[in-house]
Amino acid sequence: MKKHFNSFALLASVAATMATVGAGTALFAAPQSIAQSTSQSVAYGFEEVGDTEIFFREAGDPSNPALVLLHGFPHSSHQYRELIPLLSEDYYLIAPDYPGFGASDFPSRDEYAYTFDNIAETVDTFLEQKGVDEYSLVIQDYGAPVGLRIATQHPERVQSIITQNGNLYEAGLNEAAWSPIMQLWEEGRGQNAELEANIAKNVFSLEGLRWQYTHGTRNPDAILPDNWILDHERLSRPGQHEVQLDLFYDYRSNVAMYPEWQAYLRNEQPPVLVVWGKNDAFFPAAGAEAFKRDVEDLDFNLLDTGHFALEEDAQLIARKIRAFLTARGID
């Protein structure tokens, strides 16, 4: 029988033990069926997609308009823990963890190809199996290339797009921050061991992860440490660095698809809500501004925060989402 990770129990355990224990290796059993959490009717469970168990959070009445929340690197659906209950009274929200992330299965590289094409296919199949066939996409970081692959394949299913630092434009790539990964694109995966070791050291360390959550925030000391503690535990599993470097290398495929996704915006004209942390070191505000070129129905908002804007502005973003959807009759 496969073992699963209950992310709620894991979060509490990791936070309590990480200071005295090294990289966590304990496995936490989770029920196959959906289990109710204590957080305002948020539920969580697993869905088998092919050979992979996908963990998900969901809340709200499935007969209400659906919001599909797609997470970024290095986190999971945990990043939507505050947003989901804020909107669950009027919307149906569902947030899966990608393979290798959060509490979803972590198949080996021999068993699962860690590319954005494959992750998008897994998420698309997950939504079909769950019967979610019309929705607004909430995209952040990795959620953008995953979500736009799905949107371009099924444009009739997408009612709107809500982007929180989900980039689709070269202008939104900060070359200074991306330069080591861009060098990886040029040299090839597995060709420069020193470069890959330095990326892993700088990005996957506990301090490097903490920086990603706190950089550009108004009050760094108020950001929940469980975020980077949980991420570090997940990234410390054997084989994780190789998987994440595979995805860093494959990110070049996303940049190559930017023109296709921009054409989708121009041709399909989905309403777009931009709620963008303007102090993001990876995806600066120029990426948000670029949506103005292609989208006619655009609700544009720059927020004085960093990459994970929900950590400081969940209440504000929830209000923006509710107003945006209501104004467009998605209610």
Confidence (pLDDT) at 23: 33
- Cis peptide bond prior to 74, omega within 30° of 0: yes
Q: Report the amino acid identity of residue 133.
A: D
Instruction: Please name each of the domains of the chain with its CATH number.
Output: 7-327 (3.40.50.1820)
Confidence (pLDDT) at 29: 34
160 and 138 in contact (C-beta within 8 Å)?
no
**71, 78, 215, 307: the active-site residue:** 307
Note if 307 is an active site residue. Answer: yes
Confidence (pLDDT) at 39: 42
Per-residue pLDDT of the chain (331 residues; tens, 9 = 90+): 333 333 333 333 333 333 333 333 333 333 333 444 334 589 999 999 999 999 999 999 999 999 999 999 999 999 999 999 999 999 999 999 999 999 999 999 999 999 999 999 999 999 999 999 999 999 999 999 999 999 999 999 999 999 999 999 999 999 999 999 999 999 999 999 999 999 999 999 999 999 999 999 999 999 999 999 999 999 999 999 999 999 999 999 999 999 999 999 999 999 999 999 999 999 999 999 999 999 999 999 999 999 999 999 999 999 999 999 999 999 9
Confidence (pLDDT) at 20: 33
Confidence (pLDDT) at 41: 86
Q: Looking at the whole model, is its pTM more than 0.85?
A: yes
55: phi then psi, degrees, rounded to nearest 5: -80, 145
Residue 307 class from Cβ within 10 Å (0-12 exposed, 13-18 middle, 19+ buried)? buried
Q: How far is CA 121 from CA 52, 81, 84, in A?
A: 12, 24, 24
- State the sign of the Cα–Cα–Cα–Cα dihedral 292, 179, 99, 188: positive
104 and 55 in contact (C-beta within 8 Å)?
yes
Of 250, 251, 254, 248, which Cα lies nearest the Cα of 198? 248
Q: Where are the beta strands (DSSP E) in 79-183?
A: 92-96, 135-139, 158-163
